Amino acid sequence: MNKYIISVAGLFVLCVGILASQHIQQAPTSEHNIIKVMNDTATFGGGCFWCTEAVYKELKGVHSVESGYAGGHVKNTTYKEVCSGTTGHAEVIQVVYDPTVISFFDLMEVFFYTHDPTTLNRQGNDVGTQYRSVVFYHDQEQKEIAEKYIKLLNEQKAYPKPVVTQVSPYMNYSAAENYHQDYYTLNASQPYCQVMIKPKLEKFRAHFPSKLK
């Protein structure tokens, strides 16, 4: 699986680089637009957001990671409502990053390496639609990259089972409650963090040393 993900990166890197350069060249040169070009947003759902937040906070080029909820049919939802399974939201992380340092494709590569995209509405013992694997795209470019990435993973049988990750439009995002933010940093000694998050972080660090801050 790891060899394949690296090979897919080779196929996309030129295309992504061209799209990024075109985007920068076409943007107006006002201060506001320079800031916008230099900072993009990506939103991923890969199970418990405590785990995914801890991973993405360590990447070079990532300015901030916020845990939240997206993709449901109501606005301003809460953790209790999302856990009921009635709002349609997924637990997500919202990543603000510098595309001149780390690309959306790089973020996708980390995403597919650090969770199981073949289990429908489940990650380990966390079960429910709120734990579904999903990429919430913010523009057409993100949508196309995500769809092509998943298509290639399935064509190459990178996993024993088909990838079931959804590619959905970004909608109805709510930031999670304060006690969910920076959870691993503030609660690293807790049993869940030691058993679930710490091993995932160690595996991630070993596989992506060049991408770490």
Q: Is-catalytic flag, 48?
A: yes
Which of 48, 51, 83, 193 is the catalytic position? 48
Between strands 133-137 and 166-169, the pairing is parallel
For residues 18 and 42, give the distance between their C-alpha atoms in angstroms, rounded to a whole number: 19
Whether the CA torsion 59, 96, 127, 177 is positive or negative: it is positive
The one-letter amino acid code at 76 reads N
Judging by beta carbons within 10 Å of its beta carbon (0-12, 13-18, 19+), is residue 40 exposed, middle or buried? Answer: buried
DSSP assignments along 133-199, one per residue: EEEEESSHHHHHHHHHHHHHHHHTT-SSS----EEEE--S-EEPPGGGTTHHHHHTTSHHIIIIIHH
Task: Give 27's Cβ-side CA count (13 Å radius).
Answer: 16
DSSP summary character for residue 131: G
| Type and span of the H or E element at 108 | helix 104-113
**Catalytic residue ranges:** 48
